[in-house]
Amino acid sequence: MSKTEEKAIIVEHLTKNFEVNVREKGLKGSISSLFSPKKKTVRALKNISFTIKPGELIGFIGPNGAGKTTTLKILSGLLYPTAGFTQVLGFDPWERRPDYLKKIALVMGQKNQLWWDLPAIDTLELNRAIYEIPKREYEETLSELVSILDVKKLLNVAVRRLSLGQRMRLELVAALLHTPQILFLDEPTIGLDLVAQQKVRDFIYEYNRRHGATIIITSHNMDDLIDLAKRVIVIDHGEILFDGDLGELVKQFAKEKIIKVYLSREDDIKGLEKIGKLKKFEFPQAILSVSRETTAVAAAELLQQFAVSDLTIEEEPIEEIIRRVFKGEMRKRKK
């Protein structure tokens, strides 16, 4: 049982299949699917396993349709797993016990729970009653959330009149009113402007620190991941491709290194292109990317053939790696 005490989330051999109706295009397809619907099984998650310790902040990354959101939905008890074992804080999420639901929150950037026609404060009051939060605790949490997210003036405005960024911040208030220990964030910064993104990010960081909450965040926003997550889980086609430190991810998956050279003479650039992929040239600086294996050879060649005043070799930037993850390029490399 000690296993459950030190792990906030346990996922073992989790599999989820969806049955979908396949419809061929056009009218003819619609009609034929009416009479003989074709079913197809989509394997959204294929036997994935991982564990998360209390207080960890984890980034879930992968291209669209990789299975990130499906995992979060299973962990929050919305979807029924096809096979495998999941346990969060000692609960089976699918049972959706009130005691469990009071400890978690799932925030989806594209779904809203605030009552559209009413001021947000009405939804907050409703949530207070639903989660049975004591009055004093409610007031303390509310004032804390309101000040960190800077939404005091927005509480009494009908939700439909708010901008997306304002609404999103209030959504966070509504979702966190019961101070959940586990937080599933699905694209929390989607569609927000840079300032609002930063506010939300700072807030997540702060929430994790202050409450020791366990947080899983999925995002296509590079900064969300780099700023927040130490550990990342890369998922694609329903499989986990990587689970570990963000820094480790770079070491494992960087295909190339970056060589920056400073030339003392403006020479023939074509020669540079023979050595590596020329990413940028602005005399005196040239930036080349070369494959990891040939880095040393390339550097030697550069020194021999050109008048080099300075040369540095760097790792590929993290953004580049993550960008490749989003494109789904990781899978190919691994096999």
Which residues make up the interface to other proteins (CB under 8 A)? 18-19, 69, 73, 76-80, 96, 98, 101-102, 104-106, 108, 110-111, 113, 115, 117-118, 122-123, 125-132, 158, 186
Least distance (Å) between residue 191 CB and other proteins: 13
Count of CB atoms situated within 10 Å of the CB of 83:
11
- Min CB(211)–other proteins separation in Å: 19
State which residue, 89 or 298, has the beta carbon closest to other proteins: 89
Judged by CB, which is closer to other proteins: 59, or 119?
Answer: 119
Residue 123 or residue 179: which is nearer to other proteins going by CB?
123
Tokens, residue 34: 């009416």
Smallest CA-to-CA distance from 172 within 105, 88, 98 is with 105
- Give the integer Cα–Cα distance in Å for 245 and 249: 6
Nearest by Cα to 226 from 246, 210, 206: 246
- For residue 127, count other CB atoms closer than 10 A to its CB: 19
Judged by beta carbon, residue 96 or residue 334, the one nearer other proteins is: 96
CB count within 10 Å of CB 125 equals: 15
Omega prior to 284 cis, within 30 of 0: yes
CA end-to-end span of the chain, whole Å? 37
CB of 130 to other proteins, least distance (A): 5
Q: How far is the CB of 122 from other proteins (least distance, A)?
A: 5
How far apart are CB 98 and other proteins at their closest, in Å?
A: 4
Structural tokens at position 195:
């300032």
CA distance 69 to 109: 11
Q: How far is the CB of 205 from other proteins (least distance, A)?
A: 23
Residue (96 or 279) nearer to other proteins, CB: 96
Q: Which residue is associated with the tokens 């927040």?
A: 228
Nearer to other proteins, 98 or 191 (CB): 98
Nearer to other proteins, 126 or 148 (CB): 126
Distance CA 333, CA 318 (A): 17
Among 271, 76, 110, which Cα is nearest to 189's?
110
Minimum Å distance from CB 64 to other proteins?
Answer: 11
Cβ pair 205, 228 in contact under 8 A: yes
Q: Which long-range contacts link 150-154 to residues 24+ away (Cβ below 8 Å)? A: 150/199, 151/120, 154/120
Judge residue 218's burial from the number of C-beta atoms within 10 Å of its C-beta, 0-12 exposed, 13-18 middle, 19 or more buried.
buried
Tokens of 187: 């694209």
CB of 105 to other proteins, least distance (A): 7
Whichever of 29 and 98 has its CB closer to other proteins, that residue is 98
Find the shortest distance in angstroms from Cβ 310 to other proteins.
49
With respect to other proteins, which residue has the nearer C-beta, 104 or 290? Answer: 104
